Each structure stands twice: as C-alpha cells, then as structure tokens.
C-alpha cells in the first residue's frame, strides 16, 4: 500500500510569478481594495494552517509533488529558492520540507505548463480590449484539454515514482482532478476538502450574492487542520 497526503491549494499572488502584478491590480480594481485585502488574508491564513499541520508530521524520506514543478535536482531547488524570494508561502513550506528530508520529484510536463502560462500571459499583456478578449476566448477553449493532460501526466508520475510502502505529499490547485486517475493501491489522505476550496474560488466573483456562504468557506480555509 502507498499513501499520498493530498493538499488541495489556493495560490497566492506570490505563486503566480510574472502574472502576479496583473492579478493583484485586477483584483483590487474589480472587487475593491478592502475586499481584495481580506481575500489575501484568507489565503495567508490557509497557508498558515497548512504549514502548522506539517510542522508536526515526520516527513523524512517522503516524496514531494508540487503543482507546476517541471524539474528535479538542482534546477528544482533553484525554482523553489526563487519562489521563496518572491514571498510564496507554498514554496516556503516546500523548502522547509526539503530541509526535513523530503525528496522533491518532477511532477509536471514542461511543455504543458508553459503552454498554459503563455496563454495566460497573452491575456494579461494584451494592449487592447479586443486582443484581451481574443486571448481569453482562446484560453477558455483549450483550458480543459490542458488541465486533463496535466492531470494525466501528474497521476502517471506519482504512480511511477511512489513505491510500495512509501508516502508522498502533493500540493496541487483545487481545480486539478488527479485522485480518480491514481491506482487503487494508493491511499489518499486529504488534509483540506478540495470541494470546499474549489467552491470558495468559484464564489469569489459572486461573493456579494453569497456573502454568508463565502464567509463560511473563508473561515474553513483558514481553520486549523485537526
């Protein structure tokens, strides 16, 4: 039997690299500075809860799979270091786990990750509303195809690299769906409910119509993991 500790995540602006400035600008413009700052506090609270959880877990020898990790070894370490410098709580946690003895594994296909990022950059860097609209439509048309291909690749990597008796950890965006793609001998321990993390993100643009539920989900995200 193999075990996978499954952490569905919500990314902070610091995780988004070159997309971060535009996402923050649009968030503040569309939702207002006060709401957006509250949203960012919720994300930080989420990561504080996840970090606190792993402080009490003996992880030496575990395999670590990270959303967007396209390399391993020295290159992967440099990617993590750059993420820490940018202020990413996700990569801060990855760095701490590496120091505690986890083995960081190449999780994703470079070309698939690059294709998705390039399409998102076309939207954020568009100079005209028409160009932005075209970029958005093109991204929407290929989004599910790319996500499915990425999920197939990630599930295959876990299946190939996590040996019998070993434990792995995965940090992955809540919209990914790899659990059903994994072989049945991998036992999954989900530390946060992916459905609730997804629901929070789905309600974000419509929070003013679902204030009570949105606040409830925000509280869940930042709550301690028992």
From first to last of the 226 residues of the chain, give the pLDDT tens digit. 999 999 999 877 666 555 556 656 666 666 777 888 888 899 999 999 999 999 999 999 999 999 999 999 999 999 999 999 988 999 999 999 999 999 999 999 999 998 888 877 766 666 776 555 565 555 566 778 889 999 999 999 999 999 999 999 999 998 899 999 999 999 999 999 999 999 998 888 888 888 899 999 999 999 999 8
Q: pTM, whole model, 2 decimals?
A: 0.86
Residue 144 and residue 204: Cα distance in Å, rounded?
20
Beta bridge partners of 8: 172
Structure tokens at 4: 């996978």
Distance of CA 122 to CAs 16, 23, 104, 163, 203, Å? 15, 13, 30, 40, 25
């Amino acid at each position: 039997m193999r075990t996978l500790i499954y952490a569905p995540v919500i990314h902070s602006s610091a995780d988004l690299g070159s997309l971060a400035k535009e996402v923050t600008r649009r968030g503040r413009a569309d939702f207002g500075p006060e709401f957006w700052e509250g949203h960012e506090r919720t994300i930080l609270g989420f990561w504080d809860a996840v970090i606190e959880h792993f402080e009490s877990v003996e992880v030496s020898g575990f395999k670590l799979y990270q959303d967007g990790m396209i390399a391993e070894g020295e290159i992967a370490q440099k990617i993590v270091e750059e993420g820490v410098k940018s202020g990413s709580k996700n990569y801060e946690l990855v760095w701490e786990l590496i120091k505690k003895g986890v083995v960081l594994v190449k999780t994703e296909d470079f070309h698939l990750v690059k294709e998705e990022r390039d399409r998102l950059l076309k939207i954020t860097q568009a100079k005209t509303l028409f160009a932005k609209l075209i970029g958005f439509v093109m991204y929407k048309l290929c989004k599910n195809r790319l996500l499915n291909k990425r999920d197939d690749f990630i599930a295959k990597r876990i299946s190939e690299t996590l040996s019998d008796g070993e434990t792995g950890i995965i940090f992955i965006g809540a919209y990914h769906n790899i659990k059903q793609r994994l072989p049945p001998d991998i036992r999954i321990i989900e530390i946060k409910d992916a459905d609730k993390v997804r629901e929070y993100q789905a309600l974000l643009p419509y929070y003013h119509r679902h204030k009570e539920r949105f606040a409830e989900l925000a509280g869940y995200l930042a709550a301690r993991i028992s």
